[in-house]
Amino acid sequence: MSIVREYATSIIVTVISFIFFIICVQFEAFELFYEFSRDHEDWDLDEFFSFFVAASVALPILMFQWNRRLRAAYRQKEVAEQHATHISRHDALTGLYNRRYLFEKLARRIEDATSEGTRPAVILLDLDRFKPINDLRGHETGDFILQRVAERIKSVCYEGQEAVRLGGDEFAVLLDETQAVENAPSLARRILAAVNTKYEFPGWSTSMSCSVGIAVWTEGTDGAQLVKSADQAMYKAKREGRARFAFFNEELGEKLREEAELESDLVAAVDAGEFQPYFQPILCIASGSLIGFEVLARWISPTRGNVPPDVFIPLAEDIGLIGPLSWQILRNACIAATSWDDDLTIAFNLSPRQFSDRKIARKIQRILAETGLPGHRLEVEITENAVIEDIESAKQTLEELHDVGIRISLDDFGTGFSSLATLSKLPFDKLKIDKSFISRVTMQPQSAKIVEAIVALASSLDLTVTAEGIEELDELNFLSALNCQHGQGYLFEPPMPRDKVNLMLENGRKPVFQPDTSVTSGGLN
Ligand code: C2E
Ligand code: CA
Ligand code: CA
């Protein structure tokens, strides 16, 4: 078509000239003209004729050149347009298609899908832990990796599978084919195998992996929703351990909708101050007397009822609300504790996210000053993963807490890396043995041995040990025989609201249980 358009003028001119020639021949035009010029000698028509002959030779040559120039300009314009279209639909770094192309193509595929009975699919992939490489090794290295990843993705795409870079370390593949549903998992596997390998540099190498989400189009969904679904499936793959793929389905959609609702309720609950501290008694195992409480967050929602902390604490951490939430709880707990006996301590849980905040010690000190609770009545419980990443700054924070008399417990001991290195480098005062070991001490000799070893270790390091999750008398007796100092669990009391603690204290501090003196120390040699 474009060739016809390009030569249209020449064709029209040739056709007109040919028709003119036929007419001239038909009517003997030359003879007529000759007769006419002879009859009108004084008009000098023969000179005009010579001029026309000369012009008819020069004109086609001029027209030819003009036409050639025009065609060259037209071609240049076309190349420039093609280039502009290419740039606007491709990613400059990797040469893959870009986000704009994906959405344009998806819109067309979705339009066709209903009439053709096809179901386009989108595969979305995100590199795992790309940011640290970019930060530590520089953007040039990051760019190099992104280019190699793009090549590898492209190399495993078949016909009708178009690779796209969405931005950053996020890529996608559009499966523009009738068998998209069947072919998506095998393509996802090929991508994982191609991307999750080593990347070599002069003198060093690194491994990369990616997580992949797959979403298949369903009636009534638009391109943006389809890509969002693939993104959500990709996050599911990340949550399930990375370097794998996951499908988006209705169940996941429903779960995400519920999470989004929970999230917005949580935001409102922090504003409304719906979080309360509950207090679980901690006892001295040897005497059975109360020594303090662990502060446990409770969300008593007017619409949802009692939401367990295992649900809302991780969510609050994810959405950056753990700070406001836990300061609410700490403040209320400190206020409650100031009205109790001076020797009763409260142990407050700090989440790893909070602990990475350099100002944490100052924030806690400010709450102590506001509420009037002396530092020696507060303990802070942290898990090993809060300190493992940056031991030096953890040490500094712990020392700042120590300076005002706050004691530090290493919580859930035995469940993390439990490295002796962590223990010896940081100034802990207490160890809390995780309840998963305590619940098995009477059934599993292995767990009993671990608990025995932890108590021995703590004693050699001059640390106080608290066993949490004591539910059975046998467990208590076992711990008592090991000389484990402190205990906490449903066997004594569950976490309770402030009013109930007040009532318990008003009735006088009797030992919560009578120690079994018949049990002798047998666990430790
Ligand atoms: P954790 O720090 O290990 O707290 C002990 C958990 O064990 C509490 O669960 C407590 O109710 C439960 N527990 C106590 N005695 C027993 C027992 O005899 N048997 C059993 N099976 N469980 C017992 P809870 O209150 O549901 O808290 C769960 C986790 O949520 C806590 O584990 C802690 O990691 C987190 N958490 C709770 N409150 C806070 C908070 O204010 N801040 C932060 N960052 N985390 C909190
Ligand atoms: Ca705890
Ligand atoms: Ca614990």
Neighbours of 11 (CB within 10 A): 10
Mean pLDDT estimate for the chain: 91
Q: Which atom of ligand 1 is nearest to the CA of 348?
A: 41
pLDDT confidence of 242, banded at 50, 70, 90?
Answer: very high
For 71-109, write each residue's pLDDT tens digit: 999 999 999 999 999 999 999 999 999 999 999 999 999
Q: Which of left, alpha, beta for 273 (phi over 0: left; psi -120 to 50: alpha)? A: left
> pTM for the whole thing?
0.70
Distance 228 CA to ligand 3 centre (A): 37
For 411-464, write each residue's pLDDT tens digit: 999 887 666 777 788 999 999 999 999 999 999 999 999 999 999 999 999 999
pLDDT value of position 525: 28
pLDDT confidence of 6, banded at 50, 70, 90?
Answer: low
Closest ligand to the CA of 313: 1
For 163-184, write each residue's pLDDT tens digit: 999 999 999 999 987 777 889 9
Q: Which of 280, 296, 306, 322 to mutate to test the pocket of ligand 1 (most atoms within 8 A of CB)?
A: 296
Q: Alpha-carbon distance 42 to 40, whole Å?
A: 5
E strand map for 351-463: 378-383, 407-413, 430-433
Tell me whether strands 170-175 and 275-284 are parallel, antiparallel or unpaired. Answer: unpaired
Q: Is the pLDDT of residue 145 over 90?
A: yes
CB 135 within 8 A of CB 127: no
Q: Is the pLDDT of residue 40 over 90?
A: no
490 lines ligand 1 (CB under 6 A): yes
Closest ligand to the CA of 412: 3
Q: Which of 294, 468, 471 to mutate to test the pocket of ligand 1 (most atoms within 8 A of CB)?
A: 468
| Alpha carbon nearest to ligand 1 atom 20, residue | 469
pLDDT value of position 420: 73
The candidate with the shortest Cα–Cα distance to 125, out of 185, 187, 210, is: 210
Closest ligand to the CA of 321: 1
pLDDT: is 362 or 182 the higher one? Answer: 362
Among 242-246, 355-359, 474-478, name the one with the lowest average pLDDT: 355-359
**Cβ partners under 8 Å of residue 30, min gap 6:** 24
CB 193 within 8 A of CB 178: no
469 lines ligand 1 (CB under 6 A): yes
